[in-house]
Structure formats: C-alpha cells, structure tokens
Amino acid sequence: MCTLLKCRCWLAGRLREARAARCAGGQWPGVCAGLLWLTLCAVAQADGSVARYVTLPSGTLASVLANDAEGALAVVDAFSMRVTPVTQGEFRGFLQVHPEWAPGRVPHTFSDAGYLAGWPKDGGDAAPTGAGNVRDRAWDHRPVTNVSWFAAQAFCEAEGARLPTWLEWEYSAAADATRTDARTDPVWLAHILGWYGHPANTPLAAVGGPANVYGVRDMHGLIWEWVDDFNALLVSPDSRAQQDGDKLKFCGAGAIDLKDKQNYAVLMRIALLSSLNAADSTSSLGFRCVRPL
Amino acid sequence: MVSRFLALLEMAWATRTALCTLAFAFAASASAAPDDATRAASLVPPASTAAAPVMPEVVPTNSIYQLNVALTDQSGQTFALAARKGQPMLVSMFYTSCKFVCPMLIEATQSIEAQLSAAERARLRVLMVSFDPAHDSVAVLKAMANDRGLDLHHWALARSDAKSVRKLAAVLGIQYRSIGNGDFNHTTALILVDAQGRVVARTTELGSDDAAFVAQLRQTLAAQDQ
C-alpha cells in the first residue's frame, strides 16, 4: 500500500512538473523532460520519496517591506514551492549523499555551535541525543531545524531548487485556506499570531498542517524559515528613526521601511531574519525550497 | 490477487529506482563538463569533490576560502575566491554606481594603505566585489579602477553571478538589497582576513581612521612576514 502511494505521488509529481516545465528555447523538449525526470529521480533517491512541490501562480503583493518605487505592488513571478518544510528524515537523506554537511564535518564558516544539535556527528544512523529525540518515524517527520542558511541552501540546490526569496515566502504566507491574501482579516491575523506566544521548549510537531489555498502547509504555526535573501532585510534597530538612517552604515536610501505594522506575525519574522548571520542556527528555524518555473 | 498486484508494483518501483540510479550516474557524468561557472559558484565544501580547488588541509575550517565561488576581476581574469589565499587581504563589497559610501570605502582603504610602509603594502591584497553583476561588467570595473588610480598589482575589483554574490555577502556578514534603478542598500564594512582567510578584524568607521583596525592590520602583516 505504501508502495502504491509512493508511486502515485511520484507520477503526480512528474505530471505536475511536466506541465509546469518551460524549456529554454523550446527546441529540446526531450532533453528537458529527461532532466526533470533525472532531478525527480535524484530527489527520490535521497530519501525514498519525492519532495512535493506545488505551483503558485504569478501575482502581486503589497509586501510589508515598503516598496522602493513608492506605493507600487511587488510583482511575484510564478514558482513552485515545497508543500511542507524540509523534515529531519529528508535532511538525513541529504547527509547520506552530502556527508560534508554532517555536524562533524561542516566548516565553521558555514555553521555555528548549535548546528544539528543532538545529531550524530556523521549525520548517520546513531540515535540523536536530547529530549524527545528518539529516531523513529515521528522524528523523521518533524521539520529539520538547527540548520544554517548555507546548509539550507545546499539542501535546496541538491534537489534542483533554492531557498525562497522573502517576497516569495511572504506571498505564500499571505494566503489562508480560501483566500490568496487573508491579511486584512483581523481574525486570521490573530490566529497566526497565536503561535508566537507558545513556549518553544516542546518538541516540534510533524509537518503537514492544514493547507493554504495554494496547497502549501505550515507557513505559520510550526517553525521560522530561512529565506534566500535573509541578508537583504536591512531593518534599522529602530524603524521609526530610519528616515535619516545611518548613512555610513546603510549605503543608498538607508534601512528598509516597514509598512502594514498591524501584521506583527510577519514583522517578527523579518526582525528575526535580519538579526541572523548565515552560519547561525536555532532550534525553531528551518526552511523549505522553491523552484522557479 | 491483490498481493500479486502489489508485488508487480514493487517490481516496477525497483526497476524505476534502478533506472534512476543509471540515469543519475549519466547525469552526473554529463554535467561534469558544461557550466563550470555554475559549478564553481555552488557552495561545495572542499572535501566533496576532487575538482574543488580548495584543499581542506590548508584551509582552516573558519576561513572565508571554504566558500567555493568564482570571481572575475577588472582584467577579465576568472579565479576562485580561494586563489587569493596566501597573503593578508582587505575585502569588501561595493557597486560602481554608488554615489556616497562606496567611493568613501575605496578612499578609506587607500588611506589605510597610505599609512603602511612600502614593504607592508607589498604584502597586502585588496579585493572589492560588486553587488551588482547586472551593471558592473568587466569593462565598468576596469574603468573604475583607472578612475580611482588603483594599484592593480594588489588591488582587484571583481564581479560574480548573483547567487555567488549573495553567498559571499553571507560569509562576510554584509547585508545588501537591490532597491531598483541599479541602486542598492547595503551595510558597509571593510574586513581584514589573514593569509588563511580567517576574519581578523572589521571596521565600519570609514569617515575617520580606525586606529585599532590599522594596528591589527600591521600586526597581521608582520605575522605573515615571519
């Protein structure tokens, strides 16, 4: 039965990718299909199942980051996004193919002391240490955290993807189950904000919460997530003072301004991301990947 | 009947996996040749491939030279970041159309250099990498090097692809963001790395001389001399 599900999932993934594929120049449809197939195979090889991506259509977004052209909406090109954050099981599969990212081998330039805390040094089969860290099916399905930006980026690259940009992440995170932009709904805002009040000292839940309108899950309420351009979120320590900015610190127009100050849940994400170095890791910071279409 | 059907599926799955392995091997061999720039730009720690230019035994684990990115300088020469290893280096990021801080960054670096003896200067390298691969072509970098009278024996202005620029900034702890019209917001820092690529000091005081930074630079150059 499990095999059957895997197979169906694989086929569905292939069809979706095939539909979404737009080959450069269009003169190599065979090669392109083959490459897609290879990419999917590579992903399937890594963890025994196919990473599921769904397509988000292009659109516009009133980003909480003030747009640089005053008042204009940010344009987001279509992309496909992982349905769920990357799990511990998936990351372990990645380490088997790329042992250079195992906690015992990753260079300090790309990691901090908390990198994959509790994992065996070689990233292998030994039981992880720490409370609630029995390596079982439940462990496999929890989102991977304690990973640096570099490791997250390497994981995504290994499956032919990359980290989402902030804008892509925000675009997907603006949706609820029925609306592409639920951010004007105070009830929904209060609901997603609720998670931030929870203590972070319990083991994380498994991935696979309710889907938003695009079919993407766990954008809120499970973990913080790395974005590709986390080091583009130049937030002045005091956003109110940004007008004169510290011109010596921030070349150009100074730190970014934050619009829509009601959306605390998303503003907190920006505040966290802008405070991080790429080698940092925390026990509630994970990631997911996207592919451009 | 059902179990027979499942057994068949199982077989199909196994065949697919085998085919995948074959195809994967093929893809790996096929991708070895083309697109060297992309490969070089991807973040592959040194031990992972034989082709990686970085040698793990000589690059410390906290070295910026762990980052495998390819840069192209103002003369059109392409080199791995790790090829800068061997001498202390001042490194920073900039873009040529920047009106205010970037010219100051270059002047500040020149002013620091001017405080060194000729012998000290000869042991120091300077690398400035552009945030703006879309506009800062080799020709633009060359023109800027000429305008600013940079000593190209030990200065290099360089460019890379957008992905590598993001990674280099991540390694150097520099934030930047395109704000349209070819302009960028960015933090400005001048970073000193030793001959092995370990970050020794950084300064954001570009308007006035940062004496502690210069002292640290002298010390690093002297250590290199021994």
ipTM score for this prediction: 0.75
In terms of pLDDT, which residue wins out, A136 or B100? Answer: A136
Residue B149: domain span = 56-225
* pLDDT band, very low/low/confident/very high, at A271 (cuts 50, 70, 90): confident
Choose the closest CB to A68 out of B61, B167, B180.
B180
For chains A and B, what is the number of CB pairs under 8 angstroms?
135
DSSP string, A184-251: T-HHHHHHHHHGGGS-S-SPPPPS---B-TTS-B-SSSS-EE--TTGGG--B-SSGGGTTT--TTTEE
* CA A118 to chain CA mean position, Å: 22
Q: Are residues B208 and B128 in the same domain?
A: yes
B179/A234 Cβ within 8 A: no
Q: What average pLDDT does this structure show over A66-95?
A: 87
Mean pLDDT of all residues in A51-75: 82
* A3: chain B residues, CB-CB within 8 Å: 6, 9-10, 13
Together in a domain, B8 and B74: no
Q: Which residues, in sequence order, are CB contacts of B170 under 8 Å at separation 6+?
A: A149, A150, A231, A277, A278
Q: How many domains does chain B have?
A: 2
DSSP secondary structure of A12-45: HHHHHHHHH---SSSS-HHHHHHHHHHHHHHHHH
Residue B135 lies in a domain: yes
Domain ranges of chain A: 1-50, 51-292
CB-based contact (8 Å) between A14 and chain B? no
Q: Is residue B103 part of a domain?
A: yes
B78 belongs to a structural domain: yes
Q: To the nearest whole angstrom, how far is the Cα of A164 from the nearest Cα of chain B?
A: 13
Task: Give the pLDDT band of residue A70 (cuts 50, 70, 90).
Answer: low
In a domain, B209, yes or no: yes
Tokens of A60: 């516009």
Task: Supply the pLDDT for residue A259.
Answer: 62
For B156, the enclosing helix (H) or strand (E) is strand B155-159
Pick from A4, A34, A232: CB nearest B175: A232
> Residue A234 and residue B100: Cβ atoms within 8 Å?
no
Q: What is the CATH number for B189?
A: 3.40.30.10
Residues of B in contact with A249 (CB under 8 A): 187-188, 204
> Do B86 and B15 share a structural domain?
no
Q: What fold, for A51-292?
A: paralog of FGE (formylglycine-generating enzyme) (3.90.1580)
Residue B51, domain member (yes or no): no
As a 3-state breakdown, chain B gives helix, strand, coil percent values, each rounded to 5, of 45, 20, 35
Task: Provide the pLDDT for residue A45.
Answer: 39
Q: Which residue of A has its CA nearest to B26?
A: A38
Residue B199 is assigned to a structural domain of this protein? yes
Token pair belonging to A248: 């010596």
| Least confident segment among A50-64, A199-213, B32-46 | B32-46
B30 and B60 in a single domain? The answer is no
Give a yes or no: residue B80 inside a domain. yes
Report the chain A residue with the minimal C-alpha distance to residue B180: A68
pLDDT band at B62 (very low <50, low <70, confident <90, very high): very high
- Say if residue B201 is in the same domain as residue B146: yes
Give the nearest partner residue to B6 out of A3, A98, A248, using CB atoms. A3
Residue of B19, B38, B131, B187 best to disrupt the A interface, most CBs of A under 10 A: B187
What was the pLDDT predicted at A233?
84
Residue from the list B47, B173, B175 with its beta carbon closest to the beta carbon of A234: B175
| Residue B134, min C-alpha distance to chain A (Å) | 17
B116 assigned to some structural domain:
yes
Structure token pair of residue B192? 């000193």
